[in-house]
Structure formats: C-alpha cells, structure tokens
Structure 1
C-alpha cells in the first residue's frame, strides 16, 4: 500500500515520517555506509526541509517498509548540490517537468526474500509504480534518480530500465552512485505491473491510512485488547485496581480477584495486566 506525504498533509503523518527517516538511517548510514547526517536514529538532510513529496510503502500492519523522496529540479536538489561529482563537469538538469527521485529504500529486515506481498521484490515494485504514477498524475514527464549499480540492475530486471544516464559513476560510501533517467509513461508503469503481478490500485486513501495508523497505535499501546472492544464496567474496575496497585503483592491480589470473579479476560489479557498495569487505562 502506498501513501504520499507532502507539505500539505505531513502534519497528519509525522510518526510515519519518523519511521521513514529511521529506515533511511539503517539503509544509507548502515547498510550502504554513505556519509549521511544521522541524529536520534533518523537520517534527515537539508532537502527534507524543502517540502518534498514522499512516496511511502506500507505493509498490512501500517509499518513503513519502503520509501522514496521526490523533489523539483528547478531549485536545490541532490544531484546538483551533493552528488555533483556524478555530473563530471556537466551542468545539472533543471526542468519544471523533471523531478529528482532520491533516498529510495526498502526494509530488507522486515520483508522476506520471496515474491509474495511481504517480500522485498513486491515492495520495491509497488514503490516504483506508486512513485511513477504519482509523478505522471502531477504532470511530471521524467525522473532523474541517483542510484547504486545494484538498484540499476533491479530497475532493468523489473521492466523499468533507465532510458539514459547522466554524467559518470562515482564512488559513494561503500558503493558507487550514478544518475539514471526514467520517463513517467504508462508503458513503463505497465511493464513493472506485469513483471510484479500488481494490477490493483496501489494507493491508500488518506482516511484509510489514518484509520490504519490509529489501529496500529492502539494495538501497540493496548496489546491485551487487540479486538478493540469497549471495556465493561467490571473490566474498568479491574483496570482501576491494577493501576492503583503499589507493589507486586497488591498486583497479585488484583489478579487473584480477576481469576476468582470472572472469565472475561483471556490468559493473554491477564498476563498483560500483570506486566503492564496501565495497559487498558486509556479506555477506562
């Protein structure tokens, strides 16, 4: 599933962006060894302050598993101001109908190596489709992207081969980097869809995304109530008693009371109450 976060809606998805910046830190600072700025576990640079658009891939649980950044080339951008060695003396391309695509990354730790929906391959292709369709629908004709040779091979293997390159391949951290050109055409998008077997709409509506993140956050805060049913009055009483317990002995007494008076709680819920006394408190 794909969502687009930009200057207009980023206030709604601040936590999603944090997850994305953390993924970027693991990929570009850790795995690739690029010289990037990482603070508090997040990789953020000066171009993230220019209101770019982020195309973000999510799994069914609402976790960020892939992301790419889109930025206009008419102003500051990475190829012109950071990766200028790639240009090898050439002037940077600047066009209102060309965007720069950078920071393409996929969570290889969370995703598997197969070809199902939870695979690196699927997430990669879905992100390509999402970013190209978003650009095309925004009136963009071409994308210039800074990639490494491995990603270049991925593009070619996925029916998304660059139609040209700019400058030369230059050293960048543990790997090399090059600038590739992609046209935002229906033919290119269809080729990726055919390769990956992705024929449905990849985009998630903003309201659907917010509901997904709300459910994800609720599950994280309240693991003992994953079905999200309202608490009964008796359950609320137990919550209050557990929250008021001052030590382990008092918590054990409350748990014994729960065991004696009701079978409302599952074993998992009772364990959660003992381990995290305030697990239900926000619903009381």
Structure 2
C-alpha cells in the first residue's frame, strides 16, 4: 500500500522516511554502486531538502519496500542540475505541470520475482500507480524521469512505456542515463493496473500508515526482548494468578521492594505489564 509523504505531513513520518532513505542506500549505494551521499546508513541528497513528495510502498508487515521521489521542475531538480548533459545544450524543462520522478527503487532482497503481491513487479506497479494518481490530483500532466536502459525496458513491458525522450542517452559513471517522458493520463494508469491486476485504491490514510508501520516496530520490539530471568518469570506467574486488585497491588509492591534486583529496563517492563491484569481484575 502507498503513503505519500510531503512537506505537509512529513513531521508524522520521520521513522518511515528513515527506512526509505536506508532502502535507497542499500539499492543505489550497495547494489548499484552509484556515487551517492550515504550517512548513518541513509542515502539523501540536496533535493530531499526541498520538501518533495515521496511515494512510499509499505507491505502488510509494515516494511518499506519501494519508493519514488516527485519534485517540481519549476525549481532545482536533477535533470536540470545534475544530469543536464543529457539535454544536449537545450534548456531544462520548467513547468508547474511537469514533475520530475527520481530515486525509484524497490527492495529486491525482500521481494520475489513473478507477478504476485510480494513481487518486485507488483510493488513497482503500485508505486507507479500511486505516483501518477497523486500527480493527477495535483494538476500535473507529465512526468520526466532520469532512467537507465534496464528501467526503460521494465517500463516498456509493464504497460508504462515512455511516450518520448528528452535529449540523448549519456554515460553517467557505471550506467547510461536517459530522460523519459510519461503522461499522467487515465489511459496510462489503467494500462499499469491491467498489467499488474491492481484494481483497488492503493493509498493509505496517514493514520492507517502510522498504524501499519507501528505494528512492525512493536513486533520488532518483541523479538528484541531478552529471555526472562527466574525472578521475572515468578512475577509474571503471580500476575497471571492474581484475581483481585489487592493481589495485583501486592505483587507491584514486591516488585518495588526488590527493585535493586532488576535493571531499569526490566523494572519498567514489569511495572507496565501488570496494568492489563489490574484492569481485568
């Protein structure tokens, strides 16, 4: 499912953005070997500071598995300021109705091949649908994307072929780069949906996205929990056997009395866990 994170709601999604930047580091830095800026395991550049729209795919387990960045061409953007040699001396695109799509990637380690829901192909299509539908709502007519020949073939065989190209392909480090034009039309979106079999609304609300991502963090926290000591097990058993609020309070008092036996983290966990039993009792 898709969440769009922009300058309006980005304050809610710092953790999601961090995971997205980490995915970009793994893909562009580790797998593709691009010369990108990676700090603390996250790939960011100057264009991320311009409050672009990040189209992020989150799977059913709450993991970030795909993303794309959408940036207005009226200001700084990659085709104008980084890949301008592609333009062969022509002026860069400047239009409020043309957005630049860059930093597209998917988690190839987590996603499989084929056409199923947890496949690279499926998530690619979902990100594309989300990007074009979001752009449509903003009044955008066209998207320009700096891609390589491999991505160009992916687009062509997935119902999303570019309708034109800007300038000419140029070698950029280890890859060849080209600028592809794609219209944000109903026909294109329908073609991608037909190819992928995606017939549902791909967007999550902010609250749904936060809940889904939060469920992943809770599961990870449970996996990180260390085995219980014998004393911790004793208190858990006592709480399970408590039948009144007085019983619960007696166990809590004992935990406090023996607090020097626990680390601060253990004590916090023990004092928080019983609250559910106190409510039930």
Gaps of 5+ in 2: 243-264, 274-281
3-state SS of paired residue (1:222): helix
**Contact 2:2–2:56, Cα closer than 8 Å, also in 1:** yes
CA root-mean-square deviation: 2.4
Aligned counterparts of 1:278 and 1:63: Cα–Cα separation in 2:
30
For residue 135 of structure 1, what is the aligned residue in structure 2?
A: 135
Partner of 2:63: 63
Per the alignment, do residues 282 and 73 of structure 1 end up closer, same or farther by CA in structure 2, a change over 3 Å counting? farther
How far apart are the structure 1 equivalents of 2:64 and 2:269?
Answer: 26
Cα distance in 2 for partners of 1:148, 1:137 equals 28
Paired position in structure 1 for 2:230 = 252
- 2:199 is the counterpart of 1:167: no
**In structure 1, C-alpha distance between the alignment counterparts of 2:130 and 2:44, rounded to whole Å:** 22
Residue 19 (structure 1) aligns with: 19
Deviates more, 1:255-264 or 1:210-219: 255-264
Shift of residue 282 of structure 1? 8.0
Per-residue CA distance 1:235-275 (angstroms, 9 max, x = gap): xxxxxxx6xxxxxxxx23544676799699xxxxxxxxxxx
Give 1:47 deviation, angstroms: 0.4
Q: For residue 79 of structure 2, what is the aligned residue in structure 1?
A: 79
2-side partners of 1:16 and 1:261: how far apart?
36
Deviation at 1:283, TM superposition (A): 3.6
CA shift digits 1:196-246 (9 cap, x unpaired): 000111001111111112222222223499xxxxxxxxxxxxxxxx6xxxx
**CA–CA distance in 2 between the matches of 1:46 and 1:217?**
29
2:102 paired with 1:102:
yes
Contact 2:62 2:214 in 1 (8 A): no
1:49 to 2:49 alignment = yes
The Cα of 1:61 is off from its aligned counterpart by 1.1
Q: CA offset at residue 174 of structure 1? A: 2.3
Q: Following the alignment from structure 2 to structure 1, what is the Cα–Cα distance between the partners of residues 185 and 70? A: 17
1:1-284 matched pairs, under 5 angstroms = 1-223=1-223, 251-255=229-233, 277=266, 280=269, 283-284=272-273
- Distance apart, 1:23 and its partner CA: 0.7
Shift of 1:172: 2.2
Inter-partner Cα distance in structure 1 for 2:81 and 2:198: 36
Q: Which structure has the larger Rg?
A: 2
Once the two structures are TM-superposed, the CA of residue 105 in structure 1 deviates from its matched residue by 0.5
Inter-partner Cα distance in structure 1 for 2:145 and 2:199: 25
Distance 1:281 1:78 in 2: 52
Whole-Å Cα distance in 2 between the matches of residues 168 and 182 of structure 1? Answer: 16
Give a deviation string over 1:114-148, Cα, whole Å, max 9, x none. Answer: 21111101000011111000001110000000111
Aligned-partner SS, 1:191: helix
**CA apart distance, 1:167:** 1.0
2:3·2:209 contact (CA, 8 Å) conserved in 1?
A: yes
Query: Cα–Cα, structure 1 residues 93 and 281, in superposed 2: closer, same or farther, change >3 Å?
Result: farther
Higher alpha-carbon deviation: 152-161 or 83-92? 83-92
1:32 deviates by 1.6
3-state SS in 1 of match to 2:165: strand
- Flag the 1:147–1:223 CA change in 2: closer, same or farther, 3 A: same
